[in-house]
Structure 1
Amino acid sequence: MHAVTRAQPVPFLDLSTQYKSLETEWLAAIRETGARGSFILGPHTQAFEKEFAEYVGVKHAIAVANGTDSLYLSLRALGVGKGDEVITTPFTFFASAETIDMVGATPVFVDILPDSFCLDPASVRAKITAKTKAIVPVHIFGHPSEMGEIMEIAKKHKLAVVEDCAQSFGALHNGKVVGALGDTGSFSFYPTKVLGCYGDGGMVTTNSDAVNEHIRRLRNHGAVKPFLHTEIGMNSRLDEVQAAVLRLKLKRIKDDIAGRQKVAAEYTKRFAGSPVKTPALPKHGTHVFNLYTVRIPKRDAVRQALTDAQIGTSQCYPQGLHLQEVYKHLNYKPGSLPVCEHACTETLSLPVYPGMPPEHIERVCEVLLAAIKG
């Protein structure tokens, strides 16, 4: 081990370096916003929606308060509600399933593919019933789902598709950006995301004029005009300060994604020939590495060794959603979704972010490989 790297802490994520590079422009945008006195659904938000839609390749992008709201509003606008079933993955953040309950429907969990950790289309087919109304594929960790097969299934059974793109902004599938493949795309701008703001934020993308108009009403209390309401909506609006920083970041996003991919490629090269199973690359697209998630033997012991060495990691996800206490009433049992359950015992996410120093990558690899051998 190189002496220069031996005792150096490695953060799981470093947002401060990127902030410093944006600080002058962002603070200028805040001053301009303050001087104008427009803070909610103002010109920055409107411009960001247009720029975002253009980047993703869709007709409409609707800015909302957070990623969870973007899922909920998508399901609402697509008519999913009480008595409906929605097929999704158990290997994801809770919001992907929680929002299905929030609209009154029932989540139906199906198994995942062992390499990509995304929905297994064969498992989706097996769980379709007369009550199935929609599918929520999650492009997990930055790897696009098998959208070709999923859209074929949806078309055959007349199902809506809500892409959960929270971890995958900028990923490609068959030449299209995720969020442009389903009926809607749902994005989170939580600070840790590929495109993240300095607070909370979200976006819905769609090519449907009707869905666009409906979500714009729903995000603003169901209002068709000021003080005139046609349905129960909610307050879910992106503020101008967050829109301003997201516009700045969107201009640089290709470099940021390339930076993540460069770190991932370096990890993968260094782990070649070891017991570490590195992330699969999409056959028909690109991975944006919101997280660099490996599968390793003795995962818990290895993670502890990394923690002891002051190296940040994350365990995404320790337990499948189908086995969580909140979904006990759905009667899933251990062993019911074996690929997901096995992944939960082996997966570990390592530090990855644009501009991560090479010596940090080296230190992560050294400590992890030594822990596996030990």
Structure 2
Amino acid sequence: MSEHHVYRLLYRSVLRRIDPERAHHWAFGLIRLAARVPGLASAVRARYAPAHPTLAVHALGMHLPGPFGLAAGFDKNAVGTRGAAMLGFDFVEIGTVTGQPQPGNPGPRLFRLTEDRALVNRMGFNNDGSAAVAERLAALGSRRPALGVNIGKTKAVPETGAVDDYVTSTERLAAHADYLVVNVSSPNTPGLRDLQATRHLRPLLVAVREAADRAVPDRRVPLLVKIAPDLADEDLDQIADLAVELGLDGIIATNTTIAREGLRTDQDTVAALGPGGLSGAPLKERSLAVLRRLYARVGDRITLVGVGGIETADDAWDRVLAGATLIQGYSGFIYAGPGWTRALHRGLARRLAASPYTTLADAVGADVRSPRP
């Protein structure tokens, strides 16, 4: 029996019967423990993170062994970055981190939609706060993978104080980040998505950029914004134009969705779960469409990161052809298990070898520039 089938059996017989948030903490704890054992960590890395030289990427000032990173949400507090790298993620995005510590929303707040290979969460940015996370990252020093830091608004902070809240996190965290992400797209903090309107987004991004430059005067920390899949096309265009105008380094497309259409799970069951962001397979087509539209608007002027519904190497390849220089995943890890990154890298290397492109960089946006018949 293959490793993949063993994990599927374990998931169906054991893991799916455990509260999702508790299962996450247990699994994450095991990953962190393994990463602390030198011999075990090396063995796990050799199995799950084999090198594929053709997949090497240079993006956002980082030299990466591949394009596939762990999306924000898995490691909110920067406690398991080396464990994620051990399992084959080429870079890790921690967070979302807020200016002040907060417990997040009351539970239950994480739910599986197994038939749809999806998750619904309303975690509410539960994290230790930017001061504590900054201390943790400082202690890591160079013993960490390539690292993005995703920052959001403290729930208790009113909209009028949002810019100052993001600036506080930036001042504390920028020095420890290979890139910084302004998250204005989670549906689980009241009013947060309103910040995606360009009249609010412009002053926020300008303030964060200035704060990062003050905090790290000897290095330009790349700055990205993470957007929702539920934006109208004209709003996407406005954000793309703003990103180019401000010299933003990238856009992450996309966060979770509030939509619930087309699910296999019974609608009464879905409705009973209540509000939250939907991630996983149902997000695939919309996230891909958003990515294509952004690339058509910005081309190669800024870096696009594709995330949302990526399960297979074919999904990852489609994101590259649609304009993504980097790709990220999270929900797929829950359903596919620890062999997921290895399978995705192998498949992506095969697709590149079978394509007319020499490098992944050559393939970025190819379907938008010259659509396939």
Q: Please report the TM-score for the alignment, with normalisation by the length of structure 1.
A: 0.24
Flag the structure with higher helix content: 2
Tell me the TM-score normalized by structure 2: 0.24
Higher relative contact order (CA 8 A, sep 6+): 1
